[in-house]
Amino acid sequence: MKSRLVLGALMPTDVIARAKAEFDAIVSEGPGDMTAREITRAAADHEAEAIMFVNTLPLDAATIAGLPPSVRVGATSSVGYDHIDVAAARARGLVVTNTPGVLTECTADHGMMLLLAAARRGAEYDRIMRQGWGYRIGQGDLLGVRVSGKTIGILGMGRIGQAMAQRARGFDMRVVYHSRKRLPPALEQGATYFADFHAMLPHCHFLSLHAPAGPATDKIIDARALALLPDKAVLVNVGRGALVDEDALYNALTSGKLFGAGLDVFRTEPNYDTRFAGLDNVVLSPHVGSSTRETRNAMGFRALDNIAAVLAGQPAIDPLWH
Ligand code: DGY
């Protein structure tokens, strides 16, 4: 007999097909991901042993308490897990897993795309072309900032931060970073560690955010941090919107302190602060850092692998705690 699963998020067709082949699966039919209420109800109706979801589901204490006792494992198809109340899950005895490793490269690619687009005015140039161009652009007009030879600061030197650093090195950038812990030299690859985040900022022509969201990083990019950056710096965020004080960022972008920003994540999603859409010096994307066919399949498959392992009585592959 197949194990019973509620697949509560809109997933790629290959992932849905595999979920249906390997599990007795109830699948979210949209138009959106299942809400907390919908997923707990579906789990109860289906006597599910597992739930699979993404970061749109706040798996908070109330939702965890609302899950039927049959549910033994919850798998988020994401590396971030700030949407999960880990303490409540542990107390309930629910195994919770995420999908680290499989989305590193594509998320760093997206970060580099935003960095380059913000520095070289990619979105503005694209808009000019769509409007028909048709006028002389002088050699002093619409200038970007040079990337090569500059310094990038990386906040959060985990897998994705390291992959961003690798890409930046390919563009002849110098890398400095701040993380909770210093990396061993083999992983640092010449990057300069700053134990003090604020001491790093004056060096950063570019600042790329890869730290997890949480009390220690909430609004870490505030007016003070932005003021410490060199004038005309560029901010890139493919991490979490909660890292940024968006009023302070808006002020830094409109005052000319920042040259620009590339933003994939926002404090409130999907209803983000649309003041940013009115700024020419901002490149925006809708939280799609990992969004390639290959990577979204790999994330979904990894979540299914985790569920299968736990329901087979084996240790989870990617448990949130040991
Ligand atoms: C992640 O994996 O955490 C991405 O941000 C998608 O949620």
List, for residues 112-156, the tens digit of each pLDDT value. 999 999 999 999 999 999 999 999 999 999 999 999 999 999 999
| Domain shared by 154 and 267, yes or no | yes
Q: What is the CATH number of the domain that holds 163?
A: 3.40.50.720
List, for residues 96-111, the tens digit of each pLDDT value. 999 999 999 999 999 9
Total number of residues shown for the chain: 322
On whether residue 224 sits in a domain, the answer given is yes
Ligand 1 binding pocket, CB closer than 6 Å: 54-55, 78-80, 103, 289-290
On whether residue 238 sits in a domain, the answer given is yes
Whether the CB-CB separation of 83 and 212 falls below 8 Å is answered with no
Atom of ligand 1 nearest to the CA of 103: 2
List, for residues 250-260, the tens digit of each pLDDT value. 999 999 999 99
| Domain shared by 262 and 118, yes or no | yes
**pLDDT score of 30:** 81
Question: Which contiguous run of DSSP H or E holds residue 128?
Answer: helix 122-130
On whether residue 318 sits in a domain, the answer given is no
Whether 28 shows a pLDDT value over 90: the answer reads no
Verify whether residue 287 is a known catalytic residue.
Answer: yes
| Domain shared by 97 and 111, yes or no | no
| Domain shared by 154 and 245, yes or no | yes
Which residues face 97 on adjacent strands?
75, 319
On whether residue 316 sits in a domain, the answer given is no
Domain of residue 69, residue span: 4-102+293-311
Catalytic residue among 37, 127, 198, 269: 269
On whether residue 273 sits in a domain, the answer given is yes
On whether residue 209 sits in a domain, the answer given is yes
What strands lie across the sheet with 95-97, from one edge to the other?
24-27, 4-7, 50-53, 73-76, 95-97
| Domain shared by 134 and 89, yes or no | no
**pLDDT score of 157:** 98
| Domain shared by 28 and 116, yes or no | no
| Domain shared by 231 and 86, yes or no | no
Domains held by the chain: number? 2
As given in the structure block, the two tokens for residue 153 are: 């600061």
| Domain shared by 141 and 14, yes or no | no
On whether residue 52 sits in a domain, the answer given is yes
List, for residues 65-95, the tens digit of each pLDDT value. 999 999 999 999 999 999 999 999 999 999 9
**pLDDT score of 14:** 98
